[in-house]
Amino acid sequence: MECKVHRFRLYNYNPRAVQCIAVSDNSQLAVGRSDGSIEIWCTEECWFQKMVIPGSENGSVESLLWLGNRLISAGLHGNVVEYDLTSGTVKILVDSFGGAVWCLGLSPTHTHIAAGCEDGSIKMLETSNKSLSFERSFDKQEGRIMCMAWHESGDVIVTGSVDVIRLWSIKTGHAVQRITLERDMKKVETIVWDVLVLSDYTVVSGDSFGRIQFWNGKHGTLLQSLHVHRADVLTLCRGTTESSIYAAGVDPRVLSFKLTNSEDPTSWVKGPMLQKHTHDVRSLALVNDLIVSGGVDTNLMVNSVSRKKDKFKRIYSFPSYQTVSVAQAANLVLLQYSTYLEVWKMGTSVDNTETKSKVLPLEEQPLKMVQLKVPTSSVDHIKCSSISSCGHWIAYSTTSTFRLYHLTYKHEESNIQVQKVRCSGLSPSHVIRFSQDSNIMITASTNHKVMITKLDSSAHTANLVHSHSLKCYTSPTLLLSISNDSTHFAVANLEGQVDVFNAKNMTHVCSLPRYTRIPTAISFHPKTNDVVVVYDDLQIFEFSIKSAAYTPWTRGILSANSKEKYLARIHKAVMRKHSNIAVVNNILHVCEPDKDIIMCVSREGMFIIEKPSRKKGGDKSRFCHQFMPLLHCDIMDDSTMLVVERPLQDIWDQLPATLYQKKFGT
């Protein structure tokens, strides 16, 4: 396969800083970011971003916690929020009545949540009967409550604020112990950024002077002080046992501390450095035997605490869902940002077949055609978007609204008429797709419905013609794909269900055998309409709609002898240190006379499989690392491929300055 590759680097995608991390009982990871969005991660072999709950204009996530399968957050808006993880929307919102909420704590019995507020009070909320309601308020203190930890007995809460650590009685709501921290400089306040409390009432604190201090919580006396960080200690994490803790902060090192003698509470010593970020580390969490850290540099770092020889993994913060869509017929690219969309016209190269150069000069530069902003009345960020192949239709959805636009292009490239199109019945969606002929739009809504909308470009109208409820779906619809001839479409959810429907009459055609992993990409073969699905473990299945069975090629892979060889080949080519960017998020097809080519696109590159058209002969595969990180890849025509890249250096250049550290010889 030979073609021209258009390398598009005008997408200024900048991931946001990690604010907080929380781990559920079943090892799901919730990551709160500085724009108020929350990511849900699967933490198995290939780290996969299962879901993103978009932020909002005034959104803030300062603290997260899991209550079984319930996800709770709080922030500077002053509310404690519970989310509906089946739709990715807010389920319950409770006012703290104390201003901004800086921290949350969960009782050992999982019946109450404590919120540390701006006004210096602790607000107690009840969580029974799957509800979230305000119960009572503790005594106010001077200054905001920055952090808290609940003792395993359930009788005491430890809080940290400016210059002070307090122990609170749950029964009375009064402070029973007050610990005043020493200042390194008289006129500079000591901010307690994080606290832990061990079973013997030993309180561990990390403060703004870079100290890790151990206190006798019963008597309020200092047991030990370790000054090993060069700047603020922002976060602490307990290890698999109480004899180990981890700390990190503005000095971007994750350090471990060990208790050498269980009978001597003053025998804490500094252990090895586990990993080093480039910027401030704001949160730590323990997932099984893995320590996970995140901060201003936007990436998650993962290191094993039991297998010391294992090297750390860097989990990049690229989204698992598509934020770029392409209008092949119009040569346009739609770029999705949190509060606006951009439409770009691709540049054209000089068609010089005589040159031997691998880089063709541009005859026309890329041109930004239009920018669509979310109305100021809407505070929600964009969840998904898409552009039709003809370039005349654009749709986007937030968690609360769905908007459809028709674009009319005048003779002058800069003169574009944008018209909002009303279509009753459409609701906020997880996924939006247009058919290849741009005549229909299919959406998967947040209330588990699939909707088909008929589009009329000449009249600039849209009419909802079918709405089908996916009653058996209890998790969000993750993927949606339409066949090239617009006769079928397929949907898939987080539970591994994949279903195919007739797009003409909305009848169910077939269901694919359920696999144990999460589907990450789905597409139709352009000629046979066979469905190709890739899962988060990089397994590839091809399913025939006509025979309602796996194709011979897939059955050959699934045979006992071939499966191990196939998976070994995949993992050798694809799996490297950074496992999450190997997850496939798009599938492309190229049909040639003697072979079919399947291109599985990930952030790391393209895994290319060549299937011979004849029954004889095995397939060939290779991995292309030439273009990375890949935010999108699409085939424009028979001779042109578009790759949308976001070089890591461009992202790093947008980050704030790091802590100055003097180096030897400078």
Residues 607 and 503 in one domain: no
**pLDDT at residue 305, rounded to an integer:** 85
Is 362 inside a domain boundary?
yes
- 375 DSSP assignment: P
pLDDT digits (tens, 9 = 90+) for 621-665: 777 878 878 899 999 887 788 999 998 889 989 998 887 666 655
Backbone phi, psi, residue 175, to 5°:
-75, 130
> Which residue, chain included where needed, has tokens 């307090």?
166
Mean pLDDT of 454-476: 90
- C-alpha to C-alpha distance for 341 and 344, rounded to whole angstroms: 10
Residues 503 and 553 in one domain: no
What is the number of structural domains in the chain? 2
Split at pLDDT 50, 70, 90, the class of 578 is very low
**The pTM is what?**
0.92
pLDDT digits (tens, 9 = 90+) for 175-210: 999 999 988 777 889 999 999 999 999 999 999 999
Residues 494 and 617 in one domain: no
Mean pLDDT of 534-541: 87
Amino acid at 33: R
**pLDDT at residue 611, rounded to an integer:** 79
Mean pLDDT of 365-389: 90
- 619, 622, 624, 629 alpha-carbon torsion, rounded to 10°: 90
- C-alpha to C-alpha distance for 370 and 75, rounded to whole angstroms: 34
Backbone phi, psi, residue 570, to 5°:
-60, -50
**Dihedral (CA of 222, 228, 234, 240) sign:** negative
Examine the pLDDT at 340 and tell me if it is beyond 70: yes
pLDDT digits (tens, 9 = 90+) for 107-136: 999 999 999 999 999 999 999 888 899 999
Examine the pLDDT at 551 and tell me if it is beyond 60: yes
Split at pLDDT 50, 70, 90, the class of 577 is very low
pLDDT digits (tens, 9 = 90+) for 41-98: 988 777 889 999 999 888 899 999 999 999 999 999 999 999 999 888 899 999 999 9
Residues 501 and 601 in one domain: no
| Average pLDDT over the chain, rounded to an integer | 88
Examine the pLDDT at 437 and tell me if it is beyond 90: yes
**pLDDT at residue 333, rounded to an integer:** 96
**Dihedral (CA of 440, 441, 447, 449) sign:** positive
Residue 180 pairs in a beta bridge with 164
User: Which candidate, 300, 315, 322, 314, places its Cα nearest to that of 585?
Assistant: 322
Mean pLDDT of 534-560: 86
- C-alpha to C-alpha distance for 630 and 323, rounded to whole angstroms: 11
Residues 616 and 485 in one domain: no
User: Which candidate, 11, 175, 54, places its Cα nearest to that of 629?
Assistant: 11
- C-alpha to C-alpha distance for 276 and 254, rounded to whole angstroms: 6
| Mean pLDDT lowest among 145-154, 287-296, 598-607 | 598-607
**pLDDT at residue 133, rounded to an integer:** 92
Mean pLDDT of 588-617: 78
Mean pLDDT of 428-442: 95
Residues 550 and 495 in one domain: no
Which structure tokens are listed for 618?
């095995």
- 574, 576, 578, 584 alpha-carbon torsion, rounded to 10°: 10
Among left, alpha and beta (phi > 0; psi -120 to 50; other), residue 506 is left
Residues 481 and 612 in one domain: no
- Cis bond leading into 629, ω under 30°? yes
Is 381 inside a domain boundary?
yes
The domain containing residue 653 runs over which residues?
544-659
Q: The CATH number of the domain where 491 resides is what?
A: 2.130.10.10
Examine the pLDDT at 569 and tell me if it is beyond 90: no
pLDDT digits (tens, 9 = 90+) for 504-521: 999 999 999 998 889 999
Residues 622 and 492 in one domain: no
More confident residue, 249 or 360: 249
Is 323 inside a domain boundary?
no
Query: How many Cβ atoms are within 10 Å of 154's Cβ, its own excluded?
Result: 13
Residues 339 and 455 in one domain: yes
